[in-house]
Structure 1
Amino acid sequence: MNRIAAVSLGIFLSGAGVAHFVVPGYFRTLVPRWLTRPGLLVAVTGAAEFAVGVLVLTPRWRAAGGWAAAALITIYLVSHVDALRSARADRARFLERSVGAAARVVVNLFYICWSIAVAAAAA
C-alpha cells in the first residue's frame, strides 16, 4: 500500500507540474492578485512540482520528495487561504465562492497529509 500511495503521489505531482505548462491560464487564476508576475510563479511552481514528483517516484529519494511535496503544498496554502478570505457568493467561478475556496483548503490539507505519509513510510 505504501508503494501505491507513493507512486500515485509522484504521478499526481508530475502531472500537475506538466499541467502548469499545458494550461497555464488556469493556474494563473489561482495566484493571488497581490502577488506579482503570476506567469513566472506558475512556471516556477510547475517545474518544482514536476521535480518533486520525480523525487517521490525515485525510491532512493522518496522520503526527501515526500517532505518536499509537503513543504511545497503548504506554501500553496497561502493562495488558498487568500481565496477563502476574498470569497463571495456572487462570484461566477465555484472556486471563488466560499464553499469552493474552503474545499481548496481542505483538499490541500489532504495533499499535505498524503505527502507526509509517503515521506514517513519511506524513511
Structure 2
Amino acid sequence: MHDIAAIALALFLIAVGASHFLFPGYFRTLVPGWFPWAAPAVAASGVAEILVGAMLVVPGGRAAGGWAAAALITAYLASHVDALRHARRDRPRLLDRPAGVVARLVVNAAYIAWAVTVALTAPGGS
C-alpha cells in the first residue's frame, strides 16, 4: 500500500508542478497580493513540486520526499489563510468565497496528511 500512496502522491505533485507552467495565470491568482514576486514564485513552486515528486518515485527517496512534500504543502497554507482573510460570498469564483477557501484549507490539510503518511511508512521514515 505504501508504494501506491507514494507513487500516487508523486504523480499528483508532478502533474500539479507541470500545471504551474501550463496555466501560470491561474496559479498567480493563488499568490497573496502582498507577495512581490508572484510569477517567480509560481515557477519556483512548480519546479519544487516536480522535484519532490521525482524524489517520491525513487524508493530510497520516499521518506525524504514525503517530508519535503509535507513542508512544501504546509508553506502553501499562507496563501490559503490569506485568501480566507479576503474571502467574500459575492466573489465570482467559488474558491474565493468563504466556503471555497475553507475547502481549500481542508483539502491541503489532507494533502499534508497524505505526505506525512508516505514519509512515516517509507523504509527509514519514522
Verify same fold: TM over 0.5: yes
Count of residues in correspondence between the two structures: 123
Q: Shift in Å at residue 12 of structure 1?
A: 0.2
Q: What does residue 101 of structure 2 align with?
A: 101
Distance 1:91 1:121 in 2: 41
- List, as ranges, runs of 4+ consecutive aligned residues in structure 1 with deviation greater than 4 Å: none
Q: Shift in Å at residue 4 of structure 1?
A: 0.7
Q: What letter matches 1:115 in structure 2?
A: A
Q: Shift in Å at residue 74 of structure 1?
A: 0.2
Alignment RMSD, CA only?
A: 0.6
Q: What does residue 118 of structure 1 align with?
A: 118
**Alignment of structure 1 residues 63-78 onto 2, 5 Å:** 63-78=63-78
Q: Deviations over 1:48-98 (max 9, x none)?
A: 000000001110111000000000000000000111111000111111100
Q: Shift in Å at residue 102 of structure 1?
A: 0.3
**Alignment of structure 1 residues 24-103 onto 2, 5 Å:** 24-103=24-103
Is the partner of 2:76 in helix, strand or coil? Answer: helix
Distance 1:11 1:58 in 2: 12
Structure 1: gaps of 5 or more residues? none
Distance 2:81 2:37 in 1: 19
TM-score by length of 1: 0.98
The percentage of counterpart residues that share the same residue type is: 56
Distance 1:10 1:78 in 2: 23
Q: What letter matches 2:45 in structure 1?
A: T
Q: Shift in Å at residue 2 of structure 1?
A: 1.1
Q: What letter matches 2:78 in structure 1?
A: V
TM-score by length of 2: 0.96
Distance 1:104 1:69 in 2: 17
1:10 correspondence with 2:10: yes
Distance 1:84 1:103 in 2: 10
Structure 2: gaps of 5 or more residues? none
